[in-house]
Structure 1
Amino acid sequence: MRAPVAIVTGVGRRVGIGTAIARRLAADGVDLLIQSWPAHDAGQPWGADPGWPAPLFEELRAGGRSVVHVEADFADPDAPRRVVAAAVERFGGVDVLVANHARSSDQDLEQLTAAEIDLSFAVNTRATLLLVKEFAARHGGTHPGRVVMMTSGQHRGPMPGELPYIASKGALHQLTASLAAHLAPRGITVNTVNPGATDTGWADPAVHRAVLDVEPMGRWGTPEDAARLIGWLVGPDAGWVTGEVINSTGGGP
């Protein structure tokens, strides 16, 4: 029997949550299709991570895992189908989907544009829904089916400067229970994780200090914090957990 196979999207930076998830799943014996889209990071204040994720592939393959990389722009409505098809073609099936990708945008009410609203929903909401659709159609039952989506902290406190982002992420939050109910008869669980404020290099010093002021444990979250939870959710011990939005925030907002 083949090893479990996971699709992990949004593995574009070495300090990102996607990279930590890929490492955690590989350590648990999972083969991987990894998606990235460097052009998105290149347009953000933190910039792209040149040469990544090639070193990650070498690392995971040296540990005995099979790894495939696909660059895909989820603004393209056909990209989710192509990503899932690539995993099935390479591995013969797919068992886990971690939709970790996200389009980030900073627009408050006065800056808001129709173009950014549409693009945020296309990448964050539409693409995730279509990935789940394609995954569910292709899951062959060799291993239990697991879907993990990612939301943000919009349900725990105001984020007025990121309206397109939080609207599209809030939609995933609200979709969780319905997708879980629909896929439960097929043995596929669906959960969503809010990783809280995670130190992936995006915050300026003022934001970094502000987060520390409200974190009960006195630190930011790390990518590995989110990866540990997701590793458990997609593993054999979480088969009775579905339809949940789980906050992994160290007790903070």
Structure 2
Amino acid sequence: MPRLPHPSPEELRRDPLPLRGRTALVTGASRRDGIGHAVARRLAAYGAGVYLHHHVPHDAAMPWGADRIDEVLASVREALGDPGATVAAGPGDLADPEAPAALVATAAGALGGRLDILVANHALSGSDGTLDTVDAAMLDAHWAVDTRSVLLLVQAYARSRAALEPRTPGGRVVLMTSGQDLGGGMPGEIAYALQKGALASVTRSLATALAERAVTVNAVNPGPVDTGYLTGEAYDAVAAMFPGGRWGMPDDPARLIAWLATDEAEWITGQVIGSEGGFRR
């Protein structure tokens, strides 16, 4: 049936639960101060069932520490738009090359057997350095977590979608990049910048590979987001670099990512999209 040049009035009236009946896996969603948690809450508020991936040992080793997963789950469940939707969580060390496929299978099983939306939000913190101090171990660690695991997640997700009817609607992949190619780059985090740059670079290739399955693939650069890692004068100095005088909050990129997951964004794919509030480097 040919599409009309203009949507009907009914189509223009936005569904308050545009993701009702859809399912999502959000990785790196274990901290209530983090972007992954904010994304999971937005997707749940839009009606989706959500599976939250976590790797508590990583968070516990960081200065900000780890949250209790039951409290993270409770926060997401409070936001549920569809009371019949499922919210579940499970662990996974994505440095293990077998973990991505296992995680996709587990998430799909917990959500009723189908996975529509993949948000690859996880990343390795620390274990990095400048050009002078970075070494092979740092490079390998970031490659394994920040890039290899993301590609393996997308591969497993694509294989799960292949089992559905051709061009089943709602397929979405969102990757996370970090503005490493903007301004002065990230000279103090060479390994992280390298791997996040690789994700930005491969976004269009993945979008082309998955287009025939009606899956869109985009990458989001959230800019500096207040996830609790900086305080004091350094925090204020970064805030002053935004025209609005404040940092990005986790829900700022989460709103963009949730919208990309809706049918309204079905014509957007292969893009690297900034959500930086006009940040001036």
Answer yes or no: same fold by TM over 0.5: yes
Unaligned 5+ residue runs, structure 1?
A: none
The equivalent position to 1:40 in structure 2, one of 34, 40, 58, is 58
Report 1:81-92 matches (<5 A).
Answer: 81-90=101-110, 91-92=112-113
Report 1:56-205 matches (<5 A).
Answer: 56=75, 58-59=77-78, 64=83, 65-90=85-110, 91-105=112-126, 106-139=128-161, 140=164, 142-157=168-183, 158-205=185-232
Of residues 16-25 and 100-109 in structure 1, the stretch that sits farther from structure 2 once superposed is 100-109
Partner SS state of residue 240, structure 2: helix
Partner SS state of residue 46, structure 1: coil
Unaligned 5+ residue runs, structure 2?
A: 1-19
Q: Is the 1:120–1:165 contact (alpha carbons within 8 Å) kept by the matching residues of 2?
A: yes
Using the alignment, how far apart are the partners of 1:66 and 1:7 within structure 2?
A: 12
Aligned to 2:13: none
Q: In the alignment, residue 74 of structure 1 is paired with which amino acid?
A: L
Cα displacement (A) at 1:41: 1.1
Q: In the alignment, residue 271 of structure 2 is paired with which amino acid?
A: E
Cα displacement (A) at 1:60: 5.1
Shift in alpha-carbon separation, 1:136–1:169, aligned structure 2, 3 A: same
Cα displacement (A) at 1:161: 0.9
TM-score under structure 2 length normalisation: 0.85
Using the alignment, how far apart are the partners of 2:209 and 2:118 within structure 1?
A: 16
Q: Is the 1:197–1:221 contact (alpha carbons within 8 Å) kept by the matching residues of 2?
A: yes
Determine what percentage of the aligned residue pairs are the same residue.
48
Q: Is the 1:108–1:163 contact (alpha carbons within 8 Å) kept by the matching residues of 2?
A: yes
Residues 23-75 of structure 1 show CA distances to partners (whole Å, capped at 9, x for unaligned) of 10001110011101011111222222245534335535696130121100000
Using the alignment, how far apart are the partners of 1:193 and 1:119 within structure 2?
A: 22
TM-score under structure 1 length normalisation: 0.94
Of residues 27-36 and 62-71 in structure 1, the stretch that sits farther from structure 2 once superposed is 62-71
Partner SS state of residue 33, structure 1: strand
Aligned to 2:10: none
Using the alignment, how far apart are the partners of 1:32 and 1:83 within structure 2?
A: 13
Using the alignment, how far apart are the partners of 1:26 and 1:82 within structure 2?
A: 23
Aligned to 2:261: 234
Of residues 241-250 and 2-11 in structure 1, the stretch that sits farther from structure 2 once superposed is 2-11
How many residue pairs match? The answer is 252
Q: Is the 2:221–2:273 contact (alpha carbons within 8 Å) kept by the matching residues of 1?
A: yes
Cα displacement (A) at 1:87: 2.1
